[in-house]
Amino acid sequence: MKEFAGFGNLLFPMPDRHRDPLTLDQMERLLPYHSHIHTKTTIEVLETLKEEVGQGKKIFYPIYTEEEMRQDPEKRNTGLFFFRGKVDEPFAIVNAGGGFQYVGAIHESFPHCMEIARRGYNAFALIYRPNAYEACEDLARAIAFIFDHHEQLQVSTMCYSLWGGSAGARMAAWLGSYGTKEFGEKPYPKAGTIVMQYTGLSEWTRNDPPTFVIVGDHDYIADWRIMKRRIDHLKQAGIDTSFRVVSGLEHGFGIGMGTKAQGWIDEAIDFWQEQMKKEK
């Protein structure tokens, strides 16, 4: 689509093995670590973005300078897709998973951002380099970019949240635990809330932000019990937490459309709102 010129290549993961044209109903071939992929939701995301562009709104923001991208061409494949909520409301950054092999944003961050924006909050989907440390560098830069441009973007930096599924959940947790300075940026305020889906991360710190977790008990990629133990440690350290395990649900369910998890994003936003109240 001409509306997405300059960044349309970042909407879908395109590994080298898929050189033949694919239709939207074949998208699961691009997302081997994901499940419950809904073509209708994909179309809704694309139509939403197209409508924003048609209204003259900027929907994509590079996070690196031209000089940085010349020095490291892989940084051209990064950036933030902006789903606008209400002016001067807090923001969320959502990080899709993909095993640090691809970025499944079309299933695991764009739909989340769309739902968050419908609740009035501003949401950014990060497209990052699929390497664990570099991905965290990109997330740290994304936080820096939003803080440094918050007036232009018309977002509040109060009690921002970091979201992620699978590999993206690790990114959100690591930035929550260690902060932006650990990943090459100056120290920015830490997130007010972390929202995590299905990952096998066990490490934690006493500085972790309040954390919301949802997992399925049929997840054969990331055992839900690892997440439960992590949340128990946070809770014992006096950190606000919320943990939900969904029976019969596997890895990579995204917004959970058509599953027992459908509507979980509202629960996560409610948890985030409780943290906002405490910051005021």
Q: 198: closest CA among 96, 73, 79, 86?
A: 96
Q: 115: closest CA among 134, 146, 94, 133?
A: 94
Residue ranges with strand state E in the chain: 60-61, 79-83, 90-95, 122-127, 156-165, 193-197, 211-216, 241-246
Specify the pTM. 0.94
pLDDT at 250 exceeding the cut of 80: yes
Q: 168: closest CA among 207, 110, 117, 225?
A: 110
Residue 146: how many CB atoms within 10 A of its CB?
A: 23
Whole-number percent of the chain with pLDDT over 90: 81
What pLDDT, on the 0 to 100 scale, is given for residue 40? Answer: 84
pLDDT at 17 exceeding the cut of 50: no
- The chain-wide mean pLDDT, for the chain, equals 92
Token output for 186: 């100056």
Q: Where are the domains of the chain?
A: 58-279
What pLDDT, on the 0 to 100 scale, is given for residue 5? Answer: 86
Confidence of residue 42 (pLDDT cuts 50, 70, 90): confident
pLDDT at 18 exceeding the cut of 60: no
Tell me, rounded to whole angstroms, the distance of Cα 191 from its chain centroid.
13
What confidence tens digit (pLDDT) does each residue in 48-87 have?
Answer: 999 999 999 999 999 999 999 999 999 999 999 999 999 9
What pLDDT, on the 0 to 100 scale, is given for residue 29? Answer: 63
**Contact residues for 185 (Cβ-Cβ < 8 A; gap 6+):** 140, 141, 143, 144
List b or e across 86-116, with b for residues whose CB sees 16 or more CB atoms inside 10 angstroms.
eeebbbbbbbbbbebebbbbbbbbbbbbbbb
What confidence tens digit (pLDDT) does each residue in 86-110 have?
Answer: 999 999 999 999 989 899 999 899 9
Q: Report the helix count and the strand count for the chain, using DSSP H and E.
A: 9, 8
Angle between helices 110-118 and 264-279 (to 10 degrees): 60
Q: Superfamily assignment of 58-279 in CATH?
A: Alpha/Beta hydrolase fold, catalytic domain (3.40.50.1820)
What confidence tens digit (pLDDT) does each residue in 133-174 have?
Answer: 999 999 999 999 999 999 999 999 999 999 999 999 999 999
What pLDDT, on the 0 to 100 scale, is given for residue 16? Answer: 47
User: What average pLDDT does range 237-266 have in this prediction?
Assistant: 95
